[in-house]
Structure 1
Amino acid sequence: YKLTSAHQTSVTSDSYTMAALTQMLCVLSVAVAAQAGYLGGYAAPAIGYAAPVAYAAPLPYVKHAPVDYYAHPKYAYNYGVKDYHTGDVKNQWEERDGDVVKGEYSLVEADGTIRTVTYTADDHNGFNAVVHKTGHAVHPAPAPVHVPVYHAPAPYYHH
């Protein structure tokens, strides 16, 4: 089967025309899709008016006041716990004025004595603590321990 040259020419020009038409349709569909914008999500269709898109105004420039990072440090605090059921009895206080810190804390030790620590700290002397222990240590008497006594078996002779 052989095609004539006139037929061959018409087939070739038809294929070029079809390719050009396909390309034009692709470009046109992309342009239409771009013009349409965002077409919505997965919500069910509803009847109503859509408000126009609102554009946010730029935020106003707010100038903050400078922060003084070298402010004079000064504070004072104290707290205390008195839970005689659990044996948690302690307290502490501390105050600071500039670079000088003074404070004290105390607690009840496991042996019943009270440990009190008074401390100071400054640039000249550094940290200094004085520990005081008051009261008498109470150690419970050891509980008696029952030690089982084992006897050697009586000798047994068999003839």
Structure 2
Amino acid sequence: MAGLRCCVVVVIAVMVAATAATPTDFYGHGGDHHKGYKPPPKPYSFSYGIDDKHYGPSFMQQEKSDGHSVKGSYTVQLPDGRLQTVTYTADHDNGFFADVKYSGKAQYPSKGHPPFIVKPHHHGDIGYH
């Protein structure tokens, strides 16, 4: 009798494992329906920019794609005052290429005075009583 119970437990365990391993598709689609499908790339274009004269951020980007290659550029105001413009192209055949140009002259702050340093000042020995 113990041998029969053992066999029943093993059979039930195998059935549960097989059921759990089978993929379930609740929507009635085949399991491999979308395997290997990749939709073709779609053309797009966009642009944006900010030029805040009061607080300083100045940058822009524009880009467009025909679905195969991408072309665009972006411009950034650097901390030293120059503008950095990057013009780029990219595709799956030739990779990514960028042309970087700078305009304006780099400006650095003057050295000025040495920083003000506060040193602690004690009057006499501060001991513990």
Shared topology, TM-score over 0.5?
Answer: yes
Letter in 2 for 1:134: S
Inter-partner Cα distance in structure 2 for 1:123 and 1:73: 15
Equivalent residues in 2 for 1:1-159 (5 A)?
Answer: 69-145=38-114
Inter-CA distance 141–69: structure 2 relative to 1 (3 Å threshold)? same
SS in structure 2 opposite 1:112? Answer: coil
Inter-partner Cα distance in structure 1 for 2:101 and 2:87: 8
Inter-CA distance 75–146: structure 2 relative to 1 (3 Å threshold)? closer
Counting matched residue pairs gives: 83
2:82/2:104 contact within 8 Å kept? yes
Deviation track 1:120-148 (CA, whole Å, cap 9, x = no partner) reads 00122100111101110011211122789
Inter-partner Cα distance in structure 1 for 2:45 and 2:113: 51
Q: TM-score, normalised by structure 2?
A: 0.57
Structure 1 or 2, whichever has the larger Rg, is 1
Inter-partner Cα distance in structure 2 for 1:146 and 1:75: 52
Q: TM-score, normalised by structure 1?
A: 0.47
Query: Which runs of no fewer than 5 residues in structure 1 stay unpaired?
Result: 1-66, 149-159
Letter in 2 for 1:137: A
Deviation track 1:94-116 (CA, whole Å, cap 9, x = no partner) reads 00112200000001100000000
Inter-partner Cα distance in structure 1 for 2:45 and 2:103: 26
Larger helix share, 1 or 2:
1
Q: Percent identity?
A: 38
Inter-CA distance 125–143: structure 2 relative to 1 (3 Å threshold)? same
Report 1 or 2 for greater relative contact order, CA contacts < 8 Å, sequence distance ≥ 6.
2
Query: Which runs of no fewer than 5 residues in structure 2 stay unpaired?
Result: 1-33, 118-129
Root-mean-square deviation over aligned CA pairs: 2.5
